[in-house]
Amino acid sequence: MVVSATASIASSAGDLQNPLWRNRLEALLSQGRAAGADLVEVFLERTDHLGVLAEQERITSVSPAFGMGAGIRVFLDGLDGFVSTNDLSDSGLVLALEQALGMLGLRCSSSAGISGSASSLFQGLPELRDFGVTKYDWLQRCPRLDESTGRLLEGTALLERHGSHLQARRGTYSRDWQEVLVAASDGTFARDIRLHQSLGLSVLAADGEHRASLGRRYGTTDRPDDLRQWDAEASAQDVCASAGTMLYADYVEAGQFPVVLANRFGGVIFHEACGHLLETTQVERGTTPFADMVGQSIAHEAVTAIDEGLSGGAFGSLSMDDEGMEPQRTVLIENGVLLRFLSDRAGELRTGHSRTGSGRRQSHAFAAASRMRNTFIAAGPHTPGDLIASVDRGLYCKSMGGGSVGPTGQFNFAVEEGYLIENGSLTRPVKGATLIGEAREVMPRISMCANDLELAAGYCGSVSGSIFVTVGQPHIKVDTITVGGR
Amino acid sequence: MAEPIPASLDAEALRQQLEQFARSEGIRQWDLGASCSTNTSVQVDRGEPKQMKGSQRSAITVRVWNDDGLVGITSTSDLSEAGLARALEGAREASAFGNPDPAETPAFSPLATAPLPPLEQPRGETLSILTLLDTLKQAERELLERHQAIGTVPYNGLSQSSSERIYLNSAGACRHQPLTSASLYLYARAEEAGRKPRSSGAVRLAYSADQLDVAGCISEAAERTIAHLDYAPITTGHYTCVFSPEAFLDLIGAFSSMFNARSVLDGLSLSRRESLGETIAVPFLSIHDNGLHPGNIGAGTFDGEGTPTARLALVDGGVLQHFLHSEATARALGVAPTGHAGMGSKVSVGPDWFEIGATPGSGGGEAGLDRFTASGHSAAEGRGLVVIDSLSALHAGVKSSQGSFSLPFDGWLIQDGQQRSIEAATVAGDIRHVLRGIVGFEGTPKVTHEGLCPWVWVEGLSITGDS
């Protein structure tokens, strides 16, 4: 062993398919319940990650990583204590449990180790719900290093072929494999294997003082062959066309305009402006203006919004959430009326909103929280052209950058590729725009939804870490919004 | 309760084990970065514990050079013998795909065995989590009592950590640094009848929880939150802006690729190889990177390649002086590594802690500020002066390779002798114009958790408001 505390904290990854885990977990849960906890939950994970970076004609970074760990959460009277550890030995897990219990003023009756004896408060785990049973070979079916590096280099070569004035070309590939096992004293016992792959192409175009940096990211879940099936040609053409257009774009004039947001990643506006405010995490904090508005109108009647974890292959899809619950299709808003919130175990306990299979976390180091999965505004009756034609003077946001929402509900996000709308038509490209507003004010201004709903992959950082999500929408029109610019 | 046991890394055991594995695999050159930490943290909500967390974490990154001199890397949190062996094997496999360009292939830092700088870092006591909880509950209570409009402190946390990091290489380098640290953040939410909620806060760092300036954090969070209660929209236009030390440090940090040799070599920086010696800012601006400043709680004494941390002049007299370097970028540009490297097959480079202020003897822009004073604060009497207290969403609103930014901010408009908080607004511009448009510095440079900086006056920035 190479790491030591007073005792060693070194550990062995173990195999989460090993049936011995049942006894170990039952002993932990039993000890926690015997100590007085209302509920004990153990989240175990193993991970295998690969990151590859291609720049110009070279692979410049290959970064494999693997790991394991456990997160133990104990609930008592609505409060909880959470401890994470890389030490999956018996003593390491017991220490973590004791710390979690101690946070709530509880003590294990015995700290000698996992005894295996079940207390009368915990009747043992049921049969394992194994969502990973058909996924054992996914990691092996993913492209090997030579194949993945080859495809990335194909992408950067295509950027060179289709672009002009390119100062830098980059391709990135990320493969995240995760095996999780969740056990809780309420009878939860489930296992899953997840596979997320994402690909990105980006360029920096420069011509004298003119510069434009643009990128696209694609991501799927549970599709080992995804990289093989990637249409590198189309991706490169898309990125280069946008970079070429934006290279000479003027900065947008600041002001308040009607805005038409394109489909796919345009959905980040709903994700940031409203989606986060419909997580029970925000209800608990008292930071959502919608906390007491279930059944009331919070958006234009054109808006129906959904969060689900079910769309095949979508980046935010799950067979089970990180608390062992199967994800649901959750209609958040229907025709402008707020129907429900996204909730996890703690959210249900503290706010009364029933769980929706939305308990998610980046890794064992985070306690699960209510988080979005695949979140989108439903398609409407119009064509994208109808929306643009309805605007005399405004902004068309073809591609969005990232964004965020603050503790008072104010949101902002960057427009990566924008065009002026003049007299119902797209005219000049413009850059440097930021859309800012407040959810409660903007949602009633989404007055038109088109019929071209599409999803786009992204990452969402929040209280339980960075997680895989999709955002999505059809083209939508916001009647007026503040556009930050020059 | 069982308190977290401070973890420790056994550097000699790590070395012996790696040497043994490397020998058996025929690997002649390797290096390793390792860290372990224990952490406890609490959050509260209106007098009740909201979440209490603890963690024990460990991680290693192993790099190996294969017989062709190509580098591979693997990281893991599994520090068992099996984990180490697998990491070494993974790194060797990855080395087959190492960058064949000798100029970009990392090597051992020539400074990996140089003496480390002396750094006063007292190791603090670990408090029980219940003590942390009591401290935070009391802090929340005091903050809520500061003003009737402050209804909640939705974002708060008190944490403490004990950690160690190690760098070893097969040429005999051995770096080791233990550290304790603690942090407190309080972000209050205030709301008055019929008005929008407002929020602001404060952060404090220290070497241990009992050394945290809790009272100062409460006062600053209260003052900043209350100061935003009376708000109004601002008219869109161009303004002279005064950045708080925190806001200006955020802005410079977001554009640190200007000083980053890795970004320069990759063509992703506004600077080029030839930019050193060029005037990029007003003649009284000085920017240093100084991870060793006493205000930098948690400073590392060495970087990811074992190079000692050192103070480095980036801009002096408005002239670009040096870039931040790793071993590979330093070799490419014919200079010495500066102690700003990460660890990887492609090594990242990043700043530690900025010192921003006046170039000695330059006057620090007094003449510029006098111009405003002499004209009777003409800006404040006309369109007004915008004070930028804090910037948001830097990850989304900054295009570092283009130089442009468009960022939401919290701040005040000073007009006709009155100061009023600004309702939702953004500030936009180009960092090159900002650096050349600095009017002057005001006040003594303030130590923040991100660096050292005075208040900075900048002319001609675009503000977009709701008015």
By Cβ distance, the residue of B8, B84, B346 closest to A4 is B8
- Side chain identity at A278, as an amino acid letter? L
| B422 at A interface, C-beta within 8 A | no
Residue B73 and residue B99 in contact, taking contact as beta carbons nearer than 8 Å:
no
| B318 at A interface, C-beta within 8 A | no
Query: What domains does chain A contain, in order, with CATH numbers?
Result: 138-180+192-249 (3.30.160), 255-484 (no CATH)
The alpha carbons of chain B give a radius of gyration, in whole angstroms, of: 25
The residues near A112 (Cβ < 8 Å, ≥ 6 apart) are none
Give the model's pLDDT for residue B375. 56
Q: What's the average model confidence in pLDDT over A33-49? A: 97
Q: How far is A106 from chain B (nearest CA, A)?
A: 7
| Sheet-wide strand order for A465-473 | A337-338, A329-334, A305-308, A374-377, A465-473, A454-462
Q: How far apart are CA A117 and CA A33, in angstroms?
A: 12
Domain ranges within chain B, ordered by starting residue: 11-226, 231-464
Q: How far apart are CA A445 and CA A435, in angstroms?
A: 14
Q: Is B349 left (phi over 0), alpha (psi -120 to 50) or beta?
A: beta
The residues near B380 (Cβ < 8 Å, ≥ 6 apart) are B372, B414, B415, B416, B417
Q: Find chain A residues with C-beta within 8 A of B78's C-beta.
A: 11-13, 66-68, 86
ipTM of the complex: 0.90
pLDDT band at B373 (very low <50, low <70, confident <90, very high): low
**For tokens 């946390």, what's the residue?**
B157
Q: Find chain A residues with C-beta within 8 A of B98's C-beta.
A: 62
Partner-chain contact A62 B424, CB within 8 Å: no
Q: A32 to each of A96, A99, A327, B417, how far by Cα in Å? A: 11, 11, 27, 62
Q: Which residues is A419 bridged to in the sheet?
A: A396, A429
Q: Find chain B residues with C-beta within 8 A of A437's C-beta.
A: 424
Residue B356 and residue B281 in contact, taking contact as beta carbons nearer than 8 Å:
no
pLDDT digit string, tens, across residues A149-169: 999 999 999 999 999 999 999
Higher confidence at residue B70 or residue B9? Answer: B70
Q: How far apart are CA A166 and CA A169, in angstroms?
A: 7
By Cβ distance, the residue of A7, A406, A486 closest to B428 is A486
DSSP secondary structure letters along A346-414: HHHHHH-PPP-S-EE-SSTTS--EE--SEEEEPP-SB-HHHHHHT-SEEEEEEEEEEEEE-TTSEEEEE
pLDDT band at B3 (very low <50, low <70, confident <90, very high): low
If DSSP codes are grouped into helix, strand and coil, which group holds residue B306? coil
| B404 at A interface, C-beta within 8 A | yes
Type and span of the H or E element at A436: strand A434-438
Chain A contacts in chain B segment 66-105 (CB below 8 A): 72-84, 86-87, 90-91, 93-94, 96-101, 104
Q: How far apart are CA B335 and CA B448, in angstroms?
A: 31
Q: Is the dihedral of CA A435, A440, A445, A449 positive or negative?
A: positive
Partner-chain contact B402 A212, CB within 8 Å: yes
Fold of B11-226: PmbA/TldD fold (3.30.2290)
pLDDT of A115 higher than 70: no
The residues near B194 (Cβ < 8 Å, ≥ 6 apart) are none
CB-CB neighbours of B69 under 10 Å: 13
Give the model's pLDDT for residue B280. 98
**For tokens 């006057």, what's the residue?**
B363
Give the model's pLDDT for residue A110. 58
Chain B contacts in chain A segment 92-111 (CB below 8 A): 92, 95-96, 98-105, 107, 111
By Cβ distance, the residue of A55, A80, A412 closest to B392 is A412
Give the model's pLDDT for residue A7. 28
Q: Which residues is A58 bridged to in the sheet?
A: A55
Q: How far apart are CA A11 and CA A96, in angstroms?
A: 14
Q: Where are the beta strands (DSSP E) in B348-392?
A: 354-358, 385-391
pLDDT band at B79 (very low <50, low <70, confident <90, very high): confident
Q: What is the pLDDT of chain A when averaged over all its residues? A: 92
Among B241, B467, B245, B451, smallest CA distance to B351 is for B451
Q: Which two tokens stand for residue B325?
A: 């370097």
pLDDT band at B120 (very low <50, low <70, confident <90, very high): confident
- Side chain identity at B2, as an amino acid letter? A
Q: How far is A146 from chain B (nearest CA, A)?
A: 8
pLDDT digit string, tens, across residues A425-467: 999 999 989 898 888 899 999 999 999 999 999 999 999 999 9
Among B229, B210, B226, B228, smallest CA distance to B218 is for B226
Q: How far is B131 from chain A (nearest CA, A)?
A: 11
| B194 at A interface, C-beta within 8 A | no
Among B35, B38, B379, smallest CA distance to B239 is for B379
Pairing of strands A425-431, A250-251: parallel
Partner-chain contact B404 A65, CB within 8 Å: no
By Cβ distance, the residue of B53, B345, B424 closest to A482 is B424
Chain B contacts in chain A segment 324-363 (CB below 8 A): none
pLDDT digit string, tens, across residues B322-344: 999 999 999 999 999 999 999 99
Partner-chain contact B428 A438, CB within 8 Å: no
Give the model's pLDDT for residue B1. 46
- 10 Å CB burial of residue B101 (0-12, 13-18, 19+) is exposed
By Cβ distance, the residue of B13, B77, B345 closest to A2 is B13
